Amino acid sequence: MRPSRKAAKKATVIKDEPDDTHETSHYGQATATSKATQIAPLKADFTAITELHYVDDTAVLERAVRTGVELAREIAPLVSQLASFDTSSTARKDDGVRWQKSIEEILSLANPTRTTISVVGSTGSGKSSMVNTLLNEEKLLPTSCTRACTAWVTEVSYNYSDDEHAAYRAEIEFVSTEDWLSEMGRLLQHIKDEIASGSSDYTSPNTDAGMAFSRLTAVYPDLTTQTIPASNRNVLIENTEVQKILGRTIALADVSARGLSDQMLAYMGRNPQAKDANEMNPWPLIKVVRVFTKASALSTGAVIVDLPGVQDSNAARAAVSSNYAKDCSALWVVAPIMRAVDDKSAKDLMGESFRYQMLLDDKYSAVSFICSKTDDINIDEAAGELDLTVDIGRDIAKVASLTHEIPALETELKALQERNSKDRDTLDECRDESEDWETALHQIQGGQPIHAAKVNLGKRERTVGAISDVQSPSTHPTEDQVRQRLHALRAKTQDLRDRVRIATEKRKEQEQNLELKLQERKLLQESIKESCIQKRNATSTQSIRQDFADGIRDLDEANTADQSDVFFNPDQPRRDYNKIKAGLPVFCISSRAYQKLKGMMQHEDFNASGYRSLDDTGIPGLQAHAQKLTESNRNARCRLILTKLWSLLTSIACWITGNDIIRAGFDATTVEKHLQGEANKLRVNWRDSRESCFRSLKASLEANIYSKLDALASNAAANATHRAAAWFAHHKAGGFSPATFKAICRKEGIHITNRRPMIDLNQELLKPILSGIHRDWDTVFGNQIPVIFQEFMAEVGQHQQDFHQSVVKKYEANGSMAMALDLLNNVNGAGPSKNRASPLWLEINKAVESQKSKAFGKAVSPIAEAMKVIYRDCLLIVGKAHDEWLTDFWVGSGSKAAMQALVKTHIKDIRRTVFRESARKLHEHLRDMDRYVTRRLEAGMDEIHEDIYRDYSNALLVGNQKVKLSPVELKLKTELTTILNSVNSRFETKE
C-alpha cells in the first residue's frame, strides 16, 4: 500500500537552534535569553520518487534519473563539507562519509548500463555489413570479399566523448607475446606436417592449412615453403616489428567513419598487391578491436560484439569470443536467407554443446535470428518454390506479354524513326532547291539574262533521287517554266512538311507508348520481386521459429529420463514449445538495399527494386530491436539509482529533523535503549530468515544436483569410449576425416568451420553429466532459487515493517514525537522504501546468474586438461590420411586407426578419475557460489541494518546531543532543507 500523501506532506518543523553567542544547557537547549534562529520547516515528502517505482516507461524513468543525478551533484559539496567537520557536529562523522559514499554510487551508476549483443554467424554471412548498416554507416567495419575480415572480436559501443575531433574512436588490442608464441608454434607445426606429407592443402585459403599459412606469412612475409621447415618460433618471435605491437593497445580517432576505417585498415588488413605487401601485416596478431561511435542504435547502452566467423587457432581470441557468447545479454545469429532454412541454422545453433550451455543458462529467450541478404533472390525459382503463382500469376503473365510486345514496338519505332529521318532529309533538300529557284526567278525578273540565272541552279549538291518526282524544266527554261518549277517544289515541300509532322507525332506517341510499357513491366517486376521477397521472408521466419523450437525439444527429449531411471520425475513440467516458437525474434534484412535507399553506395551499381521504403529492408526494425533489448537493464538501473537516491534523501532528512525528546517528556537514554532493543530484534529476525534461506538453497542444490553427480560421473566414464569411437565413424555417420580430426586436435578439442556447427570434443565427453542434470538444473535455477529469494525478501520486508511499527507504537501517543514519526512513516512507506534489501538482492541475483554460466566451464576443464596430451600425440601421427575416405568402410590401417587406438587407450586410462574430478569441480563451483551468497547476504544485511538504525537514531536522538550548531553547520542545514523541500516539485515537473 502506498503512503498517504496527506501524511507524507505534513510539515516537519525544525526546532529552534541557539545562537552561537549564547551558552547552551544540557541536550543543546538554549538559555531563556537566547534569540532562536529559525530554519525553514522541512517537508519530508519524496512520494514523487517512490511512485516512480511502479513506472515501466523507460523514457520517464531516465528523465527522473537525470533529475536525480543533478540533485545528487547539488547535494554533494554540502555533504562533503559536513563530513569534514569534527566530532562536535550534530551530524556524526560517519554519517557524512556514508552520505558521500551514497552520492558516489549514484553518480557512478549514471552512465547507461551495457547490454552486450553478441553477433555470430559463418564467414560470408554478412555480419559486418549488418553491423555497419545498424550503425547507419556505409563502411565503418571492414567488409572484405577476398578473405574473412572478422578474424577477431570486434566490439562496437557508444562514443561518450565530447571531442569533436574524436567523433569516431577505436582501440586495437594485440595478443601478448606468450599467446602469439603458443599460436605460432601450432601454426608452424601444422604447415611443417603438411609439407612433410606432400600435401598442398596449405595453398588453398579455404582449408585449415591454408589459413595457417596465410596467418604466418602475413606476419612474416619472408617465410616460404622452403624456409618454414627449418624455422623456429623462438627465433621468429624476436622479430623487431612484431615485438613493437605484441601486448599493445593502439588508440585511433577521426572525425569521420571513413577516416577511422582507413586508419584501422592499416592494422586489420592490407591489399597483398599494394606496395607494402612485403611488410608485416599485423592482422593475425589482433585480439580485440573496440570501436566507439555516436550511432543512435547504441545510445541507450547496446554494445554490438561481432564474433569471429572463421576458425581460430589463437587461444586468447577463442577465450575472448567464448566469454562474450556466454556473458552476453542477447545473441544474434546471422545467416544468409538462402541458407538459413536449408542449413537448419536455428536448430543447429552453434553446435550441440553451445545449445546445452544456452539452455542451462536459460538464455534461449535471448536469441534473435537475422536472415541477411534478402536482396539475393532468383524470381523465377522463388515464385515456383514459394507457390506464388496464384498471388502473382496474373502479374507474371502480364510481364510475359509485355516482354513479347516491347521488342515489336521497339522495331516499329525504329522503322518509323528511319522513315521520319529520310523524310526530313528530303524536306531539307526540297527547301534548298526551292531557295535556288526563287533566286533564279528574282534574277530573271531583275533583267538578268536567263542563261546567267541558270548557272546558279546546278551549284548546290543534291541527294540523288531526293525530288525526282518534280519535273525539271528544259535546258533553257523560260520565266513561266521557272515559276511552274518553283510552284511544284513548294507543293512538294508542304507535302513533306505534313508527312514529317504526322510522323513526328506518331513517333512521340509510339515512344510514350513504349515508355509506358517499359515502366509498366518495371513496376510489375518490382512488385513481383517485392512479393517474392516478402513471401520468402515470411516463410523463412516461420521455418526458423519452428526449427528453433524443435531444436530445444530435441535436446529436452534426449535428456528426459526414462520412467525406469532412478532420476525420473513425473512431476517435472514441460516447456511450452509453442511459446518458444512464437517468441523468437526473426529479422529478414538487406543491408545493401538500406544503404542504397539512404543514399550510400554512390559508386556501386546495385538495384534496390523490391524495397519501396527503408522499413522494407528490415534494418529500422532491427535498430529498434537493439534499443528495445536495453530497456530491461535500463529500467533496473533507473530503479536502483532512484532507490539509492531516496535512501540518501530520507537519511539526510532524518538528521535535519532531529527531535526534542526532552520536550516530549522522554529520557534520551531510555529512548536509545528501546531503539537498540528493537534493532537487535530486527537483526535476530533477519539472521533467522537469512539462515532459513541458506538452508533452502543448500537443500535445493543437494536434492537436485549434488546427490546425482557421482552416479552421472560413473555413467560418463562408462560411455566415454563409445562416444569417442563415434569421432572415427564414417563421415556419413557423423565421423571426422583424419584431416579434420587433426585440425580439432590442433585446437585442443574445439573447432569451428563454416560447413558444420561448432565441435567441442571435451564437452561431448561431459555430455552424460550435462544431460543428466539438464532438467534439474532448470528446476533449481529457473524455479526454486528465485522462489527462495523472493520468500526471503518478503520476510526481510516484513521484519523491517515490524521494527518500524514497534517504534511507532511506543511513541505515537505523544504529539511532540509526531514530526519524527511522520518522517519515519514515509521512510517505511511504499515502493523502494518498503524493502531496503532490494538493491542487495539484485546484486546477488546477478552474481548467481554469472556463476551459473561459468559452472560447466569448470566441469569441462579437467577433461580438457586430461585430453591435451592425446591431442598432441595424434598430431604426431602420419599416414594415408588423404586416401581413407575413398572407401565406404574402415579397413583398419593408416593414421585414422592409429589415432583411434591412441584415443581409446587414453580415455580408458583417464576415465576412472577425470569424470569424478569434473563432478567435483562442478560441485565445488556451486559450493563457492553458495558461500558467496552466504557471505554477501551477511555483510549486506549488516550494512542495511546499520543504515536503518542510524536513520532512526538521527530522527529520534541526534537533535538531543549536547552540541551547539555552529554558524557553518546551521547554514548547511538550511541549504539542505531548501533542496529537500524542492524534491517533489523537481520530479513532478519532469514526469
pLDDT in tens, 215-252: 899 899 999 888 998 999 999 999 999 999 999 999 99
Q: At what angle do helices 177-197 and 315-327 cross, to 10 degrees?
A: 120
How would residue 90 be classed by pLDDT, with cut points 50, 70 and 90?
low
- Angstrom distance (rounded) from CA 971 to CA 193: 82
Asked whether residue 958 carries a pLDDT value surpassing 80, the answer given is: no
Highest averaged pLDDT of the listed ranges 446-460, 524-538, 912-926: 912-926
* Domain final position from 242, 262, 279: 242
Choosing from 242, 273, 300, the residue where a domain stops is 242
**Contact criterion met (CB below 8 Å) for 370 and 584:** no
Instruction: Please give the average per-residue pLDDT across 33-62, as a whole number.
Output: 73
Question: For residue 669, what is its C-alpha cell?
Answer: 537514554
Instruction: Please check whether residue 359 lies inside any domain of the structure.
Output: no
DSSP 624-657: HHHHHTTHHHHHHHHHHHHHHHHHHHHHHHHHHH
With a pLDDT cut of 70, the percent of the chain lying above it is 79
465 and 528 in a single domain? The answer is: yes
Same domain, 670 and 715: yes
Which range, 309-313, 764-768, 823-827, 915-919, is most confident? Answer: 915-919
Pairing assessment for the beta strands 586-588 and 249-254 based on DSSP bridges: unpaired
Asked whether residue 767 falls in the same domain as residue 885, the answer is yes
Nearest to 470 by CA among 460, 478, 462: 462
pLDDT digits (tens, 9 = 90+) for 630-681: 998 888 889 889 888 988 888 888 788 765 555 556 677 888 898 899 999 9
pLDDT tier for residue 905 given thresholds of 50, 70 and 90 = very high
Which is more confident, 861 or 669? 861
Q: How many domains does the chain have?
A: 4
Same domain, 963 and 932: no
Same domain, 798 and 936: yes
Determine the pLDDT at residue 889. 34
> Taking 70 as the threshold, does the pLDDT of residue 742 lie above it?
yes
Edge-to-edge strands, sheet with 302-306:
249-254, 168-174, 286-293, 153-158, 302-306, 115-120, 330-336, 367-372, 586-588
What percentage of the chain has pLDDT greater than the value 90?
30
Same domain, 564 and 432: yes
Query: Which tens digits make up the pLDDT trace of 506-554?
Result: 888 888 888 898 888 888 888 888 888 998 999 999 999 998 888 888 8
Most confident of 277-291, 323-337, 883-897: 277-291
Domain holding 81: CATH number? 1.20.120
- In a domain, residue 205? The reply is yes
Q: Is 588 helix (H, G, I), strand (E, B) or coil?
A: strand
CA distance 366 to 583: 10
12 and 106 in a single domain? The answer is yes
Does 678 share its domain with 827? yes
CB atoms within 10 A of CB 11: 14
- Location of C-alpha cell 585449415: 208
- Give the span between the Cα atoms of 544 and 626, in whole angstroms: 20
Question: Residue 814 contacts by C-beta under 8 Å, 6 or more apart in sequence?
Answer: 664, 665, 666
Q: Which one, of 482, 497, 398, 393, lies nearest residue 445 by Cα? A: 482
Q: Average pLDDT, whole number, for the chain? A: 80
Q: What is the pLDDT of residues 282-305, one digit of tens each?
A: 989 999 999 999 999 998 899 999
Mean pLDDT of 364-373: 90
CB burial readout 302-323, b (16+ within 10 A) else e: bbbbbbbbbbbbbbbbbebbbe
What pLDDT score does 478 carry? 73
Are 952 and 964 found together in one domain? Answer: no
Q: Summarize pLDDT for 579-633 with one digit per residue, the tens.
A: 989 999 999 999 999 999 998 987 787 888 889 999 999 999 999 999 999 998 8
Split at pLDDT 50, 70, 90, the class of 177 is very high
The partner residues of 249 in beta bridges, in order of sequence, read 173
Per-residue pLDDT of 251-289, as tens digits, reads 999 999 999 999 998 888 754 444 455 678 898 999 999
Same domain, residue pair 670 and 756: yes
Confidence of residue 752 (pLDDT cuts 50, 70, 90): low
Residue 759 within any structural domain of the chain: yes
Among candidate residues 414, 147, 170, the one with its CA nearest the CA of residue 284:
147
Give the domain extent around 28.
1-113+633-658+958-991
| Confidence grade of residue 937 (pLDDT, cut at 50, 70, 90) | very high
CA distance linking residue 584 with residue 548, whole number of Å: 8
Report if residue 256 sits inside a domain.
Answer: no
153-158 and 302-306: which strand pairing?
antiparallel
Is 825 part of any domain?
yes
Q: Is the domain of 550 the same as that of 651? A: no
d(CA 161, CA 165): 10
How many of the other CB atoms lie within 10 Å of CB of 378?
A: 11
Of 139, 134, 119, the residue nearest 617 (C-alpha): 134
The answer on pLDDT for 132 being more than 80 is yes
Residue 699 lies in a domain: yes
Of the pLDDT bands very low, low, confident and very high (cuts 50, 70, 90), residue 727 is very high
Give the pLDDT confidence score for residue 753 in this predicted structure.
60
For 563-586, write each residue's pLDDT tens digit: 445 455 555 567 788 998 999 999
Q: pLDDT tens-digit profile of 773-825?
A: 888 998 899 889 999 999 999 999 899 889 988 888 887 776 666 667 777 77
935: Cα within 13 Å, side-chain hemisphere: 7
- Of 218, 242, 266, which marks where a domain is finished? 242
Contacts of residue 850, defined as CB under 8 A and 6 or more positions apart, other chains included, come to: 327
pLDDT category at 134 given cuts 50, 70, 90 is: very high
Are 927 and 977 in a shared domain? no
Residue 131 lies in a domain: no
Q: Is residue 299 part of a domain?
A: no
